[in-house]
Amino acid sequence: MANIMVQGTTSSAGKSLMCTGLCRLFKEEGYRVYPFKSQNMSTKFYLTAEGKKISSAQALQAIAAGVKPHPSMNPILLIPKSDMGSMVYIMGEEMEHMEAVEYFKFKVDLKPMIEKIYKEVESENDIVVIEGAGSPAEINLRENDLVNMGMAEMANAPVLLIADIDRGGVFASLYGTVMLLEKEERSRIKGLIINKFRGDKSLLDSGIRMIEDLLKIPVIGTIPFVQLELEDEDSLVDKDRRYKAPKQSQADINKEIDKLVRVLRDNLDLEYLYRIIGLKEIDG
């Protein structure tokens, strides 16, 4: 069926919440949607009904898509235990603790599993929303990659590249990320998204024209900064949010997701998005 992948110029650029919003948006259009992230490293996890551990981000995306959280949404979970190593979970089950170098060698054997699980997921759904990790421009990790451009290749997925303007240097971040990629990888990026913008959008217009001219990739959305009470698994996000209080209700979570979707509907070129996915808006 169809798919779309969201990659970021950095950690905490907004990949997870963009995928969450897209899951709900596509669900509202009547599509069967499924979130997928082949490998996630996070100290925050969700325990499924079967007692399996997956990333909290994919569990949130499952809620947005209206489906039950399942290990196939996050086949590999790495829970850091030190600066050098993590506990490795495969399909939600604890495997063993591995140092970074050891895991880098081990993950080569995981690619067939990822590909098999992804194909099963894709065959059962209308749209798979795939999340990348960190940045695809981490060129030291390119070999045997299975979560960024390596995953995009496995899924033959169009990629949206999202960057956080709130930190500054957004155009350099977009340009540098794209230009560090191989030619075939660059060709997969079909749209750029500027995230967490504050102020008058017209002030960005000249920069947007220049980056589009330089990269020959359209900017398909400028997303305003919005405070959302949704759990963010990224360690770079340390705001004291209300979600940290006990018992955030399902209704409260859905209210925040709906708020996110309204922002995306108002600020994304949805017609273009559906075109690169190869589908159309059901109500359109």
Instruction: Provide the CATH number for the domain around residue 188.
Output: 3.40.50.300
pLDDT the model gives residue 110: 95
Say how many domains are in the chain: 1
The shares of helix, strand and coil residues in the chain, as percent rounded to the nearest 5, are 45, 25, 35
Q: What pTM was computed for the model?
A: 0.93
CB-based burial label for 209 (10 Å; 0-12, 13-18, 19+) = exposed
Give the model confidence (pLDDT) of 25-37 as tens digits.
999 999 999 999 9
pLDDT the model gives residue 84: 83
105: in domain: yes
pLDDT the model gives residue 179: 97
283: in domain: no
153: in domain: yes
181: in domain: yes
pLDDT the model gives residue 249: 85
pLDDT the model gives residue 32: 97
Q: Which is nearest to 68 in space by CA: 118, 32, 115, 14?
A: 32
pLDDT the model gives residue 58: 97
284: in domain: no
Give the model confidence (pLDDT) of 126-153 as tens digits.
999 999 999 999 988 888 899 999 999 9
pLDDT the model gives residue 247: 62
282: in domain: no
Residues in the chain where the model's pLDDT stays below 70? 232-247, 281-284
Beta strands in the chain (DSSP E): 2-8, 33-36, 39-41, 45-47, 53-55, 76-80, 85-90, 93-99, 127-131, 159-164, 189-197, 219-224
Token code pair at residue 114: 């990822």
Segments forming the whole domain that contains residue 99: 2-277
